[in-house]
């Protein structure tokens, strides 16, 4: 079902906006629209644009809350905007000096870590870094080269009499090393090393002494800085923990205020004399709209106008589904196809009933059905997963059909079949001969569902006041008469009753097909549109002929598509018979491990396939006849 909506326009003084949103509007479901787009007939509207004063404070308080070890445990009493801002500012001042010191320590720590990473590959070299810098006739070059280029460097440079290369360390990407070169040829040798992709690295002047000593000294400095930073962090956490309650209250208040402030993007302003007023508009469920109007009745400066859907000329209302709790999980299937428009029929209950019944018919087994019920119900309770709820409901009908088919985990001799065994029961069909009973019943079920969906199409066409779709569509009145006539003739043949007179058959078959064929010109005629007949008459006749052929073919193929219901019922029984045969049931030496594994495989694999096939029947054979799914979902601003 689709909940009734009201279009509401809320107006009040601009300075009262936050109070109204926080005190009243936040307590109700409302789908907000852009006031400038919706209220185009109102003159002199301008955007409600202001800078959010709570955004920076909220970001700051979130950092403080993130530093708390157990933030969620803190109680959160209510707090107004002024107090929340004061709390954040007071805490900021308390930790400001600590944050400044921490920032300085972190910068120094990053610098020391960079130096440490720079010197680490060269720490095994036994040279004094300060002394090599003072060499007058020998130049020392530190650097690294990628592994793929090192072989080339070895080939050309290691035997070069103008330089000595010393490999220091390596990893998966690079080889680090140092080479010594006479000052007189340094430029030439440097160019040769550069051509082989040797990347020079300058060690800063503060790195003095042996590389290992420098590395150990930097490592000690890192540990010392980390200890100081940790001590500052503990002091900061202690201050924040002492204010945890107020901090969490301020966070919640600022979140609410920031969200409320962002609603300004959807609001508009106008000036009346010296006062500036806001306008906020959107859709509310009728019950919430009445309650909201009652709540602000005593407000002297806040006004709320309500309009019914048919009384306003704005964008159509969003759709809010309202179904009994047991059908709620099936809203997932409806939304997968598309939300119904506001005036369209909600197919959720229809798909819930038909999906579960058809699934049960295709997967009828008492034992496996109960497994689906229990497993789906537990998963739905723990995880609130809609698919799990659907599985549980489908399992109920699997159990029911299992009783009708007399099947328990594939065993067909544990209980008596209340109705029949799918694999073995047959019946005589006129003009065809002997046919499996479940096939005949499946076709009959399909015919009934197709007729029902045609009725739904007619109801939707009446709601939308679409005369062409109502009378001349393949699923409208003409299509219903034609297909119902086919079903009636089929039933009369199977029950050996006499056929109607030829004139009656002519009216029942030919006249509806003519109406369907002339759908477009007749639709324009009843809606009093110009250009009833197309200009190209010949092309119209050819196109109409092939479209009519396609219509007849679709009726036939859609009906036969329901044979899969019977086919899966039979295949399920056949697969379980294979499992029992492999387990040696017929020979009297039952292997229960095979029984259990076979049931698990069949339940999982076939259950998945059947679930997909039933959904295909729903979407292609039923939904496509009456349901468009072109609506937009109702989203409360609180949900956003």
pLDDT tens column, 160-200: 778 888 888 888 899 999 999 998 898 998 898 898 899 99
pLDDT of 17: 87
Position 221 in a domain: no
Residue 570 has pLDDT above 90, yes or no: yes
CATH number at residue 304: 3.30.70
Q: Is 282 exposed, middle or buried (0-12, 13-18, 19+ CB in 10 A)?
A: buried
561, 600: one domain? yes
* pLDDT tens sequence across 337-394: 999 999 899 999 999 999 999 999 999 999 999 999 999 999 999 988 999 999 999 9
* pLDDT tens sequence across 315-331: 789 999 999 999 999 99
Residue 529 has pLDDT above 80, yes or no: no
469, 551: one domain? yes
Average pLDDT over residues 13-33: 87
Residue count (the chain): 640
pLDDT of 26: 83
425, 500: one domain? yes
**Domain count of the fold of the chain:** 3
406, 345: one domain? yes
Which of 284, 311, 338 finishes a domain?
Answer: 311
Domain extent, residue 293, equals: 5-48+267-311
Greatest Cα-to-Cα distance within the chain, rounded to the nearest angstrom? 122
Distance CA 129, CA 203 (A): 9
Position 222 in a domain: no
307, 330: one domain? no
Band of pLDDT at residue 11, cut at 50, 70 and 90:
very high
147, 282: one domain? no
Position 425 in a domain: yes
Which of 280, 311, 342 finishes a domain?
Answer: 311
Pinpoint the alpha helices (H) of 283-347: 286-295, 331-337
- Exposure b/e, 85-122, CB count within 10 A at least 16 = b: bebbeebeeebeebeebbeebeeebeebbebbebbbbb
618, 484: one domain? yes
525, 584: one domain? yes
Position 485 in a domain: yes
- Least Cα distance to 473 among 490, 459, 486 occurs for 459
Torsion from C-alpha of 615, 617, 619, 623, nearest 10 degrees: -130
Position 226 in a domain: no
391, 533: one domain? yes
Position 231 in a domain: no
* pLDDT tens sequence across 93-134: 888 888 889 889 999 999 999 999 898 888 888 888 888 888
Tokens of 242: 């002492």
Residues of the chain with pLDDT > 90: what percent?
45
Question: In terms of pTM, does the model score above 0.85?
Answer: no
pLDDT of 370: 96
276, 420: one domain? no
Other CB atoms within 10 Å distance of the CB of residue 205? 9
Position 149 in a domain: yes
491, 402: one domain? yes
Band of pLDDT at residue 499, cut at 50, 70 and 90:
confident
Residue 75 has pLDDT above 60, yes or no: no
Report the chain's C-alpha Rg in angstroms: 39
452, 345: one domain? yes
Pairing of strands 199-200, 268-272: unpaired
Band of pLDDT at residue 475, cut at 50, 70 and 90:
very high
* pLDDT tens sequence across 540-565: 788 888 888 898 999 999 999 999 99
* pLDDT tens sequence across 605-633: 999 999 999 999 999 999 999 999 999 99
Which of 163, 180, 209 finishes a domain?
Answer: 209
Band of pLDDT at residue 637, cut at 50, 70 and 90:
confident
Position 234 in a domain: no
CATH number at residue 191: 3.30.70.2750
């Amino acid at each position: 079902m689709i909940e009734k909506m009201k279009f509401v326009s809320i107006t009040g003084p601009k300075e009262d906006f936050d109070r109204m949103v926080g005190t009243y509007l936040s307590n109700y479901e409302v789908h907000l629209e852009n006031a400038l787009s919706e209220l185009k007939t109102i003159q002199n509207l301008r955007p409600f644009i202001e800078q959010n004063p709570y955004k920076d404070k909220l970001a700051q308080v979130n950092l403080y809350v993130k530093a708390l070890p157990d933030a969620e445990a803190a109680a959160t009493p209510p707090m107004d905007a002024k107090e929340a801002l004061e709390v954040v500012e007071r805490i900021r001042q308390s930790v400001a000096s600590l944050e400044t010191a921490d920032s300085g320590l972190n910068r120094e720590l990053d610098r020391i870590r960079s130096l440490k990473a720079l010197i680490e590959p060269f720490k095994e070299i036994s040279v004094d870094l300060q002394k090599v810098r003072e060499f007058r006739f020998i130049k020392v070059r530190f650097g690294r080269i990628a592994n793929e280029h090192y072989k080339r460097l070895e080939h050309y440079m290691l035997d070069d009499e103008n330089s000595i290369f010393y490999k220091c360390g390596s990893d998966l990407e690079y080889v680090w090393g140092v080479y010594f070169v006479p000052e007189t040829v340094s430029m030439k040798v440097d160019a040769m090393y550069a051509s082989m992709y040797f990347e020079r690295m300058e060690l800063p002047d503060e790195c003095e002494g042996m590389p290992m000593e420098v590395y150990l000294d930097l490592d000690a400095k890192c540990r010392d800085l980390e200890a100081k930073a940790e001590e500052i962090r503990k002091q900061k956490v202690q201050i924040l923990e002492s204010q945890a309650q107020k901090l969490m209250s301020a966070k919640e208040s600022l979140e609410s205020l920031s969200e409320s402030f962002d609603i300004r993007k959807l609001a508009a302003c106008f000036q009346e004399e010296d006062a500036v007023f806001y306008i906020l508009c959107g859709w509310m469920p009728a019950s919430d709209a009445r309650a909201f109007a009652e709540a602000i009745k005593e407000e002297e400066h806040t006004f709320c106008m309500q309009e019914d859907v048919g009384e306003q000329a704005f964008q159509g209302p969003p759709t809010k589904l309202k179904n009994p709790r047991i059908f709620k999980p099936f809203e997932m299937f409806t939304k997968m196809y598309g939300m119904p428009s506001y005036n369209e029929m909600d197919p959720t209950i229809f798909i819930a009933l038909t999906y579960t019944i058809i699934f049960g018919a295709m997967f009828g087994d008492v034992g496996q059905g109960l497994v689906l019920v229990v497993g789906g119900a537990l998963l739905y309770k723990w995880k609130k997963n809609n698919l799990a709820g659907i599985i549980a409901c489908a399992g109920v009908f699997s159990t029911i059909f299992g009783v009708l088919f007399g099947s328990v985990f594939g065993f067909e001799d544990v209980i008596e079949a209340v109705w029949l065994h799918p694999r073995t029961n047959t019946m005589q069909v006129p003009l065809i001969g002997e046919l499996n009973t479940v096939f005949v019943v499946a076709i009959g079920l399909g015919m009934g569902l197709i007729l029902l969906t045609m009725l739904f199409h007619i109801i939707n066409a009446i709601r939308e006041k679409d005369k062409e779709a109502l009378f001349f569509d393949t699923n409208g009145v003409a299509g219903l008469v034609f297909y119902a006539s086919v079903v009636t003739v089929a039933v009369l043949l199977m029950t050996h009753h006499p056929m109607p007179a030829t004139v009656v058959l002519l009216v029942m078959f030919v006249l509806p097909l003519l109406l369907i064929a002339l759908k477009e010109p007749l639709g324009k005629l009843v809606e009093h549109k110009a250009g009833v007949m197309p200009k190209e008459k010949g092309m119209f006749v050819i196109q109409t002929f092939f479209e009519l052929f396609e219509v007849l073919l679709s009726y036939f193929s859609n009906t036969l598509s329901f044979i899969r219901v019977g086919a899966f019922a039979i295949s399920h029984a056949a697969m379980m018979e294979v499992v029992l045969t492999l387990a040696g049931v017929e020979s009297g030496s039952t292997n229960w491990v095979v029984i259990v594994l076979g049931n698990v495989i069949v339940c999982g694999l076939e259950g998945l396939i059947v679930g997909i096939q039933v959904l295909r029947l729903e979407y292609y054979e039923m939904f496509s006849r009456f349901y468009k799914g072109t609506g937009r979902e109702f989203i409360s601003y609180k949900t956003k």
